[in-house]
Amino acid sequence: MSFLPQLAFLVILGIASFILVKRVKFLRRNILLGKAEVRNDQPEKRWQTMALVAFGQKKMFKRMLPAILHLMVYVGFIVINLEVLEFVIDGLAGTHRIFAPFLGSVYTLAMNIFEFLAVLVILACVVFLIRRNILKVPRFTKPEMKGWPALDANVILLIEIVLMFAILKMNAADQILASRGVGHYIPVGTLLFSSLFSPIFDNFSSEFLIAVERIAWWFHIIGILAFAVYVTYSKHLHIFLAFPNTWYSNLKPKGEMPNMPEVTNEVNMMLGVPAEAPADPPAEIGRFGAKDINDLSWINVMNAYSCTECGRCTAECPANLTGKKLSPRKIMMDVRDRAEEAGKSLDTGGKGLEDGKSLLGDYISKEELNACTSCNACVEACPVNIDPLSIILQMRRYVAMEESGTPAQWNAMFQNMETSFAPWKFSPQDRFNWAERVKEQEIPD
């Protein structure tokens, strides 16, 4: 018995694992370029959020058609990949359908379920391709989706279709060979969907069918391993990151904006409120707000890597809907692109974040930041609880407090709030004059 196929499989598996581990380390380092942030409160609620939003896809069902299609692909991806376990064992041990003799009719049922889900995945991917390339759903045609983002989505959909057809063709050839009593091929009962290929394959020789079955088997397992590596370069990284991303969701009310500790301490000092000194004071004064990704938290950067590029945030953004330049999806894509650029620079001995560029200016403009209404529509719309508003607010704080670069009208409002405690320039003592006038107009009983 030749051990060459097993050796080849082991080499391929080793190469894919090496590349995957290296890429995961690269992504982890990039995410940790962000500042430290601890967010482990309410663990029970966090587990619940992850189960409902990431695993249960709760927020996807705000749009029923894409939700059902996505569910078909999602369930198919999870369940069909259970078969990959058998592929791996067969590849390492040199066996063929190692579970079939032990499971009997249960194996036949499982294979029919796998094939049914494969057909659903094919149908869903075809509809997604039509929506993107023929119907041109508006959220898929925004400026930030030109070039690689559009190609990436289409490539993934086509790969999934080809992989599913590979399973069906492999099973069809396999069962014809089993019915002919060829070699190690095992009859596993009627497979409803792959049997549709039988009339096509029946007239071919056994040698040809063996080649079809083996090519389809190798194509599928290599395709799965290549897909696992490719995902780490793609927007489909959300397949894995959606789970930690939802676990680290911001559980505070959507309208609550976090105060800056530095500013809070200054205000407390002016009011005479005692403030606790930090245990480890910083070696140098930190930045107010965020100019680059190292000013954001690592959770912000993980948000960017978790972005599905679905565009639901941009489709709900009132600023974008009224023609403003802001696109919350682009904000997340820009943060990810900046992290990738810095990471690649560090890996080649470059300057990393000290390359003279920054997230503000080179990627995201003040015009985009100023257009945000802080309404949280983007946060509410995101199917995996990404928070673009947090990044926007931190960058706007930098523009206002470090550069004094906010519009003149805003500066006047800030000054009024500082002196008059309201956006309007009138004395605080006159604030309730309107109430007195209303009282004077009241009609006595």
The long-range contacts involving 283-287, CB below 8 angstroms and separated by at least 24 positions, are: 286/262, 287/398, 287/402
Domain boundaries, the chain: 4-31+63-247, 285-405
d(CA 120, CA 387): 32
Pick the closest to residue 261 from 420, 37, 421, 31 (CA basis).
37
pLDDT at site 282: 57
* pTM score, whole prediction: 0.89
Cα 9 to the center of its chain, rounded Å? 31
d(CA 35, CA 298): 5
Task: Give residues with Cβ within 8 angstroms of 388, minimum separation 6.
Answer: 303, 313, 328, 329, 331, 332, 378, 379, 382
Neighbours of 250 (CB within 10 A): 16
Tokens at 164, concatenated? 């599913």
Where residue 146 falls (left for φ over 0; alpha for ψ -120 to 50; beta otherwise) is beta
pLDDT at site 409: 86
Pick the CATH number of 285-405 from 1.10.10.60, 3.50.50.60, 1.10.1060.10, 2.20.25.90: 1.10.1060.10
Task: Give residues with Cβ within 8 angstroms of 52, minimum separation 6.
Answer: 58
Pick the closest to residue 319 from 276, 364, 370 (CA basis).
370
Could you list the pLDDT tens digit for every one of the 445 residues in the chain?
467 888 999 999 999 999 999 999 999 999 999 999 999 999 999 999 999 999 999 999 988 999 999 999 999 888 887 888 888 899 988 889 999 998 889 999 999 999 999 999 999 999 999 999 999 999 999 999 999 999 999 999 999 999 999 999 999 999 999 999 998 898 998 899 999 988 889 889 999 999 999 999 999 889 889 989 999 999 999 999 999 999 999 999 888 888 888 788 877 887 788 766 665 655 555 688 999 999 999 999 999 999 999 999 999 999 999 999 999 999 999 999 999 999 999 999 999 999 999 999 999 999 999 999 999 999 999 999 999 999 999 999 999 999 989 888 888 888 888 888 888 887 878 878 878 778 777 655 5
Neighbours of 258 (CB within 10 A): 11
Q: Which amino acid is at 56?
A: G
pLDDT at site 445: 52
pLDDT at site 348: 93
Q: Which amino acid is at 202?
A: D
Count of H-run helices and E-run strands, the chain? 21, 0
d(CA 95, CA 415): 76
pLDDT at site 1: 47
Judge whether 331 and 368 are in contact, CB under 8 Å: yes
402-413 as b/e: b if 16+ CB within 10 A: eeebbeeeeeeb
Give whole-number Cα distances, 331 to 70, 248, 339, in Å: 24, 19, 13
